[in-house]
Structure 1
Amino acid sequence: MKIHILTFLFLVLFFSCNSKEEVDLIIYNANIYTVDDSFSTANAMAIKDGEFVAVSEDNLENYMAKEEIDAKGKTIVPGLFDAHCHFYGLGLTQQVVNLRGTTSYDDILQKVANFHKEKPSNVIQGRGWDQNDWEEKEFPTKDKLDKLFPDTPVVLERVDGHAYLVNQKALDLAGINNETNVEGGEIVKDNSGNITGVLVDNPMGLIDAVIPKPTRATQIQALKDAQELCFDYGLTTVNDAGLNKETIELIDSLQQAGELDIRVYAMISNNKENLDYYLPKGIVKTDKLNVRSVKVYGDGALGSRGAALREPYSDKPGHFGAMITPVDAIESLAKRIAASDYQMNTHAIGDSANIAVLRAYAKALPDGADRRWKIEHAQVVSENDFQYFGTGIIPSIQPTHATSDMYWAEDRLGEERVKGAYAFKTLLDNAGMVVLGTDFPVEKVSPFLTFYAAVARQDLETYPDGGYQMKDALSREETLKGMTIWAAYSNFEEDEKGSIEVGKKADFVILSDNIMEVPTSQIPNLKAEQVFVGGEKVK
């Protein structure tokens, strides 16, 4: 009798196990923010063939897994997006002298000298200086660089990517002299009319034309270095704001070969070669690459006084900044892109640039068209112009710009105009969504700093007390949506990622603590403990 009972139990267990569907991974005992339509939470999920097949413990009884993870109560969120960054640029900065955090011009010179001693080259390049961080908050001049490096060209990029400091050797190679004139920027001169070595926006292209291009090996290493940094912080999709065909094809080849796993939403740089190739070709979409948008530069940056303003800079009378792309060119470009399948994503910092781009969009787009065109940055907007965002235009904003610029933004803009700057909540109320990024390597890579800046609007020393212009702070739920489902929507990817739901790609992050509940001051210290792309662990 005992034998018959044991046989029966064995058969029940055998058929029970065999009636269950085998999946690749089950995670249980978790605190999962799904970021679905109701912003629901769940405690478990199952993954098969790179997609979520079940979410919540109640739905797991029909599955058995090759691998199981006890999350031990840890918080899980969808894979994080950086909706505006320079992924390839981040990788390239790892190959040159890092000038972030320098506190003076002399500090820069020392770092450059040390770097060149360790890694001598025919051209010295660096990035990250910001004169606003120095006691003397004025642009540097090339005099000391000329003395240190009379025979080696030196090109040092400002943190925002909108200005170079170069030495005389670099100027000579580029053929730049006191008579050189380039529209859409500035060749900065001293009171005597002599070139200082600082080039803002379009004149930088003259230097770019004579700097040796990175080798293919350097390009590949740059992409891999950037991926490692992004995965370390839980980023699974990056929107690279401006790539050329050669780099896009290199990314694709590395992804297809399994050497690059991060998902890339590629905005093609606005130049003739890219437009002539991609617009007729149409959208290029693979599992990890999405090419369907054009990145256009409206104006420059506020920190280098290149942003185009309606009224002069408060700290530089008579100076309005400049449009990098003239208004008529933006309007004709908008019409051309509107006739294609591509999205138009335009950098606009100053209030003059924002209204010029918003009007161009309004002229080019048919009423009710679901084109999801974006304003990248939307940093300074006049009160009457926010309404344009209610027509389906999406603000793509970078919260850490507010906390980096808040120390001097009012100096640039004045007490009244600054009220329309970094207006994240006002933009959200008008547009119905905002998408969040960092603009790295302009800012640090960490999405946790993005989250903190959006919610607390303070620096890491909790300055200012009570937060900066808190009427435009975002809630934690709004912030997480801006880094996940809203970002996915802005990329036309909301049906495949951006939330933890059945049928979507299994991109997710296991966090060190609950980002929705920890004290605000602890948000910057959060860690991405485990990161998955398509159900595969990448960290």
Structure 2
Amino acid sequence: MNKLTTNILILFFFFCLVGCTTNKQIDLIVYNAKIYTVDSAFSNIEAFAVNNGVFIEMGSSQELLNKYQAKEKLDAQGKFIYPGFYDAHGHFFMLAEAMDEVSLLGAKSYDEVILRLKDYVAAHPEKKWIIGNGWDQNLWPDKNFPVRDSLDKYFPDLPIFLSRVDYHAALASGKALEIASLDSAYFVDGGLISVNKEGLPDGILIDNAMQLVSKHIPKNQNSALLKMLRRAQDSLLSVGLTSIVDAGLTEDQIDALKVFYNEDSLQIRDYAMVMATPSSVKQYLRSGTFESDRLTVRSFKLMADGALGSRGACLLHAYHDAPTHGFLLQSPKEFDQLIQRLANSNFQVNTHAIGDSANRIILDTYGKYIKNGQDRRWRIEHAQIIDPADFSKFKTFQIIPSVQPTHATSDMYWAGDRLGPDRIKTAYAYKELLNQYGMLALGSDFPVEHFNPLYGFHAAVARVDKNGFPNGGFQMENAITREQALRGMTIWAAYSCFQEKKRGSIEKGKDADFVILEEDIMTADANKLRDIKTLRTVIAGETVYQRSK
């Protein structure tokens, strides 16, 4: 053996030795934790490794610390880690806008609404329009809809537009009606212009009639819009949300999101539903689906009816407390034609349906166009009131129920008045829907409800409000377990968006999205669930929120 060969062999063994003894360089190790992976076995582990934004290995703390050399090592100090929370139904733009508007949430009377408006107008003299949200006449002594008389008395020269808490009704001032040239009432398909004794508009607009005024409200420029969205995003990240479903956006809003995400100006993952209109359907069926790392556009949002609180939900039989059935926002024929058209595309179909009539029509129309064995994952958003004969259709047609548990605990005070003692029993029936389909996609419907996913978790498992009312829970036969609720706000939500292979659980190869909480939601007392704080929120291995000490 010559000297050159000897030197080569020495170098070879040296590099082999270095390769065997030097730990692999990675980005992050999280250890000393109680981690709920939410995999198929609902496994618990104590550590995981992350590189290039994905989970690469799970195991014991010592094993991973010995195996890898990480740029960052995070000692969780025994805290509790879950996959990043996924809100399966929210409204990002509406939340962003609501933060700049007059909040009327919790107002106990119309007089209180007026007082809040006075304070807001005094604090914002530069505002050309006054926009508010959150009033709920069910909280008022007489429970009657407000009218514009007081708005016109105190703010005669200001256009004012105040959305009800469900965003399916609004109160407009006389000046706003004047700008919209709405000086008389007429029939609105899928909506209602309410009138006074003289037959003139009294300011209340329901469902499709709201657009007659809202289209005149000035739109925000992109720079202001991005600032608003980032502020809303900060709130979402602070409660552990890493992914959201944006339930119904205009073409302009989606175009803005594409710009913002392309510039890396937003961090939260957004599954955006296109609000189905003739122009949007034409455009997106031509351009096709869109997917980037954090923005996905592959579904349409249809609106079947209105809301129960404003009596716009379409019922099979008249309301228990009013001689009306509510109404559809389009005719059954129009729904049929639209769904047939979308069935021949790659787009998912997701439809808002509250009343039992609306749910029946949409379920039957879905079933007409879904072929046996097709994995379309079409969804019904809310699935709030279901006739007993229709529950099985979720299984037969493989329709995903996308529900919001806090609706049950917000509506329970007055929903029985709307529905009567029999229909209320098959409303907010989450357990029965779960039994039929096998999964629930859980969301909040923010800003209609609070965006904190633990509020929904609490409502789903305990069926009580923040004060623990009612004792024993509201219709507890439809409570779900904590494991089911956690799956609903992680892996099942991801599944409902075709994303279960890349997020929704802590498993090798998936996006490293996770949240660290100060206490364990799987074992904590139910009355403490809403108060558990998020310590850290991580998206793709990057900390996007950390609670200050």
TM-score by length of 2: 0.94
User: Where does 1:96-111 land on structure 2 (aligned, <5 Å)?
Assistant: 96-111=101-116
**Paired residue for 2:130?**
124
Partner of 1:38: 41
Name whichever of 247-256 and 382-391 sits farther off. Answer: 247-256
CA distance in 2 between counterparts of 1:34 and 1:276 reads: 41
Matched, 1:164 2:170: yes
Q: Could you tell me whether the CA contact under 8 Å between 1:280 and 1:340 is conserved in 2?
A: no
Residue deviations 1:406-457 (CA, integer Å, cap 9, x gap): 0000000000011110000000000110000010000011101000000000
Quick one: distance in 2 between partners of 1:464 and 1:17? 62
Mapping of residues 143-162 of structure 1, within 5 Å: 143-162=149-168
Q: Give 2:4's aligned residue.
A: none
What CA distance in whole angstroms lies between the structure 2 residues aligned with 1:309 and 1:293? 26
The answer to whether the 8 Å contact 2:57/2:508 transfers is yes
Cα RMSD after superposing both structures: 1.6
For residues 537 and 153 of structure 1, the distance between their equivalents in structure 2, rounded to whole angstroms, comes to: 43
Question: Number of matched residues?
Answer: 528
The superposition leaves residues 303-349 of structure 1 with CA deviations (integer Å, 9 ceiling, x where unpaired) of 00000001010010x20101012211111111111111000000000
> How far did 1:269 drift?
0.7
Residue number in structure 1 paired with 2:472 = 466
- Aligned residue in 2 for 1:53: 56
Tell me how far 1:382 sits from its aligned partner.
Answer: 0.3
Deviation at 1:258, TM superposition (A): 2.0
Counterparts of 1:433 and 1:52, CA distance in 2: 25
What is the 5 A alignment of 1:7-22? 15=18, 19-22=22-25
Residue 538 of structure 1 aligns to a residue whose secondary structure is: strand
Cα displacement (A) at 1:194: 3.5
Tell me the amino acid that sits aligned with residue 246 of structure 2.
Answer: D
Q: Confirm or deny that 1:88 pairs with 2:93.
A: yes
Question: Deviation of residue 365 (structure 1)?
Answer: 1.4
Aligned counterpart in structure 2 of residue 362 of structure 1, from 367, 372, 391: 367
| Residue 253 of structure 1, aligned match among 236, 250, 259 | 259
1:497 maps to 503
Q: Which residue of 1 aligns with 2:460?
A: 454
Structure 1 position 16, deviation (Å)? 7.5
Shift of 1:466: 0.3
Aligned to 1:7: none
In the alignment, which residue of structure 1 is the partner of 2:5? none
Secondary structure at the aligned position of 2:152 is classed as helix
Q: Provide the rounded CA distance (Å) in 2 between the counterparts of 1:312 and 1:171.
A: 31
User: Quick check: 182-191 or 524-533, which moved more?
Assistant: 182-191
Q: Give the letter aligned to residue 32 of structure 2.
A: N
1:347 corresponds to which of 327, 344, 352:
352
C-alpha distance in 1 between matches for 2:98 and 2:476: 33
What is the CA distance between 1:191 and its match in structure 2? 4.6
Residue of 197, 207, 228 corresponding to 2:203? 197
* Equivalent position of 1:521 in the other structure: 527
SS state at 1:491 partner: coil
The structure 2 residue matched to 1:71, chosen from 62, 76, 81, is: 76
Aligned partners of 1:200 and 1:217: how far apart in 2?
31
Deviation at 1:192, TM superposition (A): 4.7
Separation of aligned partners in 1, 2:288 and 2:390: 32
Q: Which runs of 4+ in 1 moved over 4 A?
A: none
- Alpha-carbon distance in 2 for matches of 1:179, 1:431: 44
**Pair 1:213 & 2:216 matched:** no
What CA deviation, in whole Å up to 9, does each residue of 1:257-280 have, x standing for no partner?
A: 222100000000111222111122
1:20 positional shift: 1.8
Secondary structure, counterpart of 1:416 in structure 2: helix
Given that residues 496 and 504 in structure 1 are in contact (C-alpha distance below 8 angstroms), is that contact kept between their aligned partners in structure 2?
A: yes
CA contact (8 A) 1:331 1:364 kept: no
Instruction: Give the Cα separation in 1 of the matches to 2:20 and 2:124.
Output: 61
Q: Which amino acid aligns with 1:243?
A: L
Alignment of 1:48-447 (within 5 A): 48-57=51-60, 60=64, 61-120=66-125, 121-316=127-322, 318-390=323-395, 391-447=397-453
Residue 96 of structure 1, CA deviation: 1.3
Aligned-pair CA distance for 1:283: 1.4
Partner AA of 2:371 in structure 1: P
2:120 match: secondary structure = helix
Q: How far apart, CA to CA, are the structure 2 residues paired with 1:199 and 1:16?
A: 71
Identity %: 46
SS at match of 2:495: helix
- Give per-residue Cα distances to partners, 1:240-298, cap 9 Å, x unaligned: 00112221122222222222100000000111222111122221000001100000100
State the AA in 2 paired with 1:298.
A
Greater mean deviation of Cα atoms: 180-189 or 526-535: 180-189
Q: How far apart, in 1, do the equivalents of 2:390 and 2:269 lie? A: 34
Maintained 8 Å contact 2:91/2:446: yes
CA distance in 2, matches of 1:480, 1:296: 27
SS of the residue aligned with 1:103?
coil
Return the offset for 1:62: 2.3
User: Cα deviations across residues 364-383 of structure 1 (Å, max 9, x unaligned)?
Assistant: 21122100000000000000
Write the letter of the residue equivalent to 1:256.
N
Q: Is the 8 A contact 2:269 2:294 kept in 1?
A: yes
What is the one-letter code of the residue matched to 2:370?
A: L
Q: Provide the C-alpha distance between the structure 1 equivalents of 2:471 and 2:519, rounded to a whole number of angstroms.
A: 25
Deviations 1:216-248 (A, max 9, x none): 232112211110110011000010001122211
